[in-house]
Structure 1
């Protein structure tokens, strides 16, 4: 089975699909939300996950795993409130949430996900 890469640049691809599993690159809030609070950034980030999943033929009901990176540990409650409303009931992926330095100072949250795709 081949490896399918989407929107490949010099450093990374936005998504890589192999054996029916999609590996998405880290997603952060869009430019319009990058100076917002954790709720706004999480909503924007998850909307970007939705768009990328749709682009590759998957959706949030097909999530397998997620790793959430938070800049501030005190933001976990507000991030979880958005996450809980976003994940379809009965379709929660395996998830890890860690605190980490993020690539831009204004970013409060980043996520990487894997999802099943038809192939």
Structure 2
């Protein structure tokens, strides 16, 4: 059975299937700040979406991270990530440079988590 939450015509923001939770790409709702502020907001938004599915950041299996400028933004993102990520259960992750949908978006993440 597939459970879809926060559904629009374009996408479902949260999808559950076979004990796995998939979050759609998350970007900051505040595009003015620097990478650290956007990163903190994106990670907080991810926690909110995970809660909708009944899981936490400790259940994350994998995170895909896209930053606008890897040379400029990688270190700043990681400084926020390192404070936020579960120390007991760090997920697999990838971080790459990507062309964003808006000029002021500096980071987007995609999260996959396990649900017991």
Normalised to the residue count of structure 1, the TM-score between the two structures is 0.94
Pair 1:27-2:37 in alignment: no
Structure-2 separation of matches of 1:3 and 1:19? 8
**Structure 1 runs not aligned, ≥5 long:** none
How many Å apart are 1:7 and its aligned residue?
A: 1.2
- Number of paired residues? 115
How many Å apart are 1:90 and its aligned residue?
A: 2.2
How many Å apart are 1:46 and its aligned residue?
A: 0.4
Specify the alignment match of 2:35 in structure 1. 38
Specify the alignment match of 2:66 in structure 1. 69
Structure-2 separation of matches of 1:50 and 1:29? 13
Structure-2 separation of matches of 1:24 and 1:55? 10
Structure-2 separation of matches of 1:40 and 1:83? 11
Structure-1 separation of matches of 2:16 and 2:28? 23
SS at structure 1 position matched to 2:38:
helix
Pair 1:54-2:51 in alignment: yes
Specify the alignment match of 2:109 in structure 1. 111
Structure-2 separation of matches of 1:17 and 1:71? 29
**Structure 2 runs not aligned, ≥5 long:** none
Aligned CA-pair RMSD: 0.8
Structure-2 separation of matches of 1:19 and 1:104? 34
Structure-2 separation of matches of 1:90 and 1:56? 21
Specify the alignment match of 1:11 in structure 2. 10
Pair 1:100-2:95 in alignment: no
SS at structure 1 position matched to 2:77:
helix
